[in-house]
Amino acid sequence: MRVLAVANQKGGVGKTTTTVNLGAALAEAGRRSLVVDLDPQGSLTASLDLRIAEDGYSTYDAIVDGEPLARTVLPTGVENLSACPSDPSLAGVDLELAAEFRDPKRRASRLRESLAAFSRSDSATTEFVLLDCPPSLGLLTVNALVAADSVLVPMQCEFFAMQGLSRLLDTVARIGESWNPDLQLFGVFFTMVDRRMNLSRQVIAEVRRGLGRQVLEAEVPRSVRLAEAPSFGLPVQLYDPGSKAVAAYSKLAREVLSR
Ligand code: ATP
Ligand code: MG
């Protein structure tokens, strides 16, 4: 089971869209995949129209109360793709875990423990787990980084992109040193690209100069169909199979599969 955290503390850069559509692309390639909503805003939960049953659980219950992650897993409309929904109480995780666990490492390892138990019990043999992080470097993102094998960083082509990136990479490096020595940067992935704009081309060129091969080949163009798909509760693969965004996420999936 490979665990990929989709993280960037900057809001609205395409984390959730990438989690949903990369998950769907991996599932379409025949790989059993699980997407996990770690954001109290619940955008992934809404994007896939996940409904928690009356007696059902969310990622909050798994992280705070230690409920088995398997109890939160729901099917999606896509074969081979399942999902763990969040709920708004996830916003209180920092305070609740701080009250419950004195040891900062234990607080940061809740999701890692939960995924390890899931992996042991998982008869469906999930191959890929994608963690949709909230737009902050708080305890939820830290839990994702401690649980992950690698980090995928979606990024928008804008002037300040590089600045936020160095803070994120510092955090990744610090967590790697202290709590998760195997953590790797999988790569930076450009979203909402408009190649007609000089700025887009300049930003991509600058980031490539700085990071070299850590910038992925795949990039997703700005796409109205991609932005519309969540309101239908569908990944773009099902909403508009012929769109350029589908091709872009399939290319990203191939990069994930080949590394
Ligand atoms: P947050 O930080 O709030 O969690 P996020 O990083 O998860 O945001 P998304 O929710 O994936 O970002 O995307 C932000 C908005 O941009 C959404 O409305 C989404 O539909 C839209 N969007 C994402 N990718 C694209 C794209 N390639 N083209 C057009 N719109 C996009
Ligand atoms: Mg999001």
**Span 115-128, mean pLDDT?**
90
Q: Which residues line ligand 1 (CB under 6 A)?
A: 11-17, 39, 43, 135, 191-192, 220, 222-223, 226-227, 230
3-47 pLDDT per residue, tens: 999 999 999 999 999 999 999 999 999 999 999 999 999 999 999
Q: Whose CA is nearest to atom 21 of ligand 1?
A: 227
**Span 145-161, mean pLDDT?**
91
**Span 135-144, mean pLDDT?**
95
Concatenated DSSP letters for the chain?
-EEEEE--SSTTSSHHHHHHHHHHHHHHTT--EEEEE--TT-HHHHHTT----TT---HHHHHHS---GGGG-EE-SSTTEEEE---GGGGGHHHHHHHH-SSHHHHHTHHHHHHHHHHHH-TT---EEEEE--SSSSHHHHHHHHH-SEEEEEEE-STTHHHHHHHHHHHHHHHHHHT-TT-EEEEEEEEEE-TTSHHHHHHHHHHHHHHGGGEEEEEEEP-HHHHHGGGGT--HHHH-TTSHHHHHHHHHHHHHHH-
**Ligand 1 atom closest to residue 191's alpha carbon, by position in its atom list:** 27
58-85 pLDDT per residue, tens: 999 999 999 999 999 999 999 999 999 9
The mean pLDDT of the chain is: 94
pLDDT of 87 above 90: yes
pLDDT of 247 above 90: yes
In angstroms, what is the span from residue 103 Cα to ligand 1's centroid?
Answer: 35
